[in-house]
Amino acid sequence: MKYRITAIRDLRVVLKDLESQIREPRLLRVGRNYEGLAMRPRELLGNWLLCVVLNEVTGRSWALSGDPTGGDGAILDDDRKVGFLTEHVFVPPPDISTATEAIDDKIVGAIRAKASKGESYARGMTLVVFCEAVGSWFPDHIGRAVDGFHNFEAIWALGLEDVHGQHYIYWVTKIEPVNSPAWRVRLSSDFDGWAVEPILPKT
């Protein structure tokens, strides 16, 4: 199905707009929707991270857009004039009641909760998991735990890995049952640029 949309192609402008929320992560969760996009700041950041990774991996130009169907945004292959819609779910930072729950289990639970909304809800959508849980986890384990359970086109997970000085570093991974690919996105200290590098599996 075709929709009339407005693409946001300048990813540097988007990153600059997100700077204050990234520097104060609480605002990523509670900040108001961006005007004209109907997206929370963390949803916009998540889609932005997917865009810059896809730019690097495919060598094509990807752009952002609001979702004309009312979801959590769209990501557009600007060269091929196609795209996909996203639905987001948030895994919060640990608190006393959930501190002992494994991160894998938290992410699987979030994915299953979204998938339980049904086949028609998930079909054609890409699920993006924004994770603020802290610690080690294994994407392949998650991929196997949800394999065959959902009808999403794809599932991605991402989150903040570390802050070195003024450099914010995010991880991005596509959830697969085997060999889930992963990347690290390092933001420049002035929020005027970024670098994407693959995260090689440990041997």
Q: What is the pLDDT of residue 64?
A: 93
* 39 or 129, higher pLDDT: 129
Is 3 a domain residue? no
C-alpha count within 13 angstroms, C-beta hemisphere, residue 101: 17
Provide the pLDDT for residue 97: 57
Which of residues 203 and 94 earns the better pLDDT score? 94
pLDDT in tens, 100-144: 678 899 999 999 999 999 999 999 899 999 999 878 889 999 999
- Does residue 24 belong to any structural domain of this protein? yes
What local confidence, expressed as pLDDT, does residue 68 receive? 74
Residue at 1 is within a domain? no
Assigned domain for 5 exists: no
Residue 94 within a domain: yes
Q: Average of pLDDT values for 54-81?
A: 89
Flag whether 122 is in a domain: yes
CA 62 to chain centre: 14
Strand, coil or helix: what is 29?
A: helix
Residue 66's pLDDT is what? 82
In angstroms, rounded to a whole number, what is the distance separating the alpha carbons of residues 111 and 14?
27
pLDDT of residue 203: 41
Contact 59, 189 (CB under 8 A): no
Encoded tokens for 117: 């909304």
| Per-residue model confidence (pLDDT) at position 98 | 53
Please give the backbone phi and psi of residue 72, each rounded to the nearest 5 degrees, phi first. Answer: -100, 35
| Mean confidence (pLDDT) of the chain | 89
Q: Let me know if residue 202 belongs to a domain.
A: no
CA distance 157 to 143: 11
pLDDT at 35: 67
2 inside domain: no
pLDDT at 52: 97
State the total domains in the chain: 1
If pLDDT is split at 50, 70 and 90, which confidence band does 69 have?
A: confident
Q: Using one digit for the tens of pLDDT, what is the confidence trace for 155-177? A: 999 999 999 888 999 999 999 99
SS (HEC) of 116-141: CCCHHHHCCEEEEEEECCCCCCCHHH
Q: CB 30: neighbour CB atoms within 10 A? A: 10
Domain that holds residue 147: 11-197
Q: What is the identity of the amino acid at 55?
A: N
Euclidean distance between CA atoms 202 and 58, whole angstroms? 24
Cα–Cα distance, 110 to 90 (Å, whole number)? 8
Residue 1 has pLDDT above 60, yes or no: no
Q: Which residue has the higher pLDDT, 18 or 30?
A: 18
Query: Which pLDDT score, from 0 to 100, does residue 51 have?
Result: 97
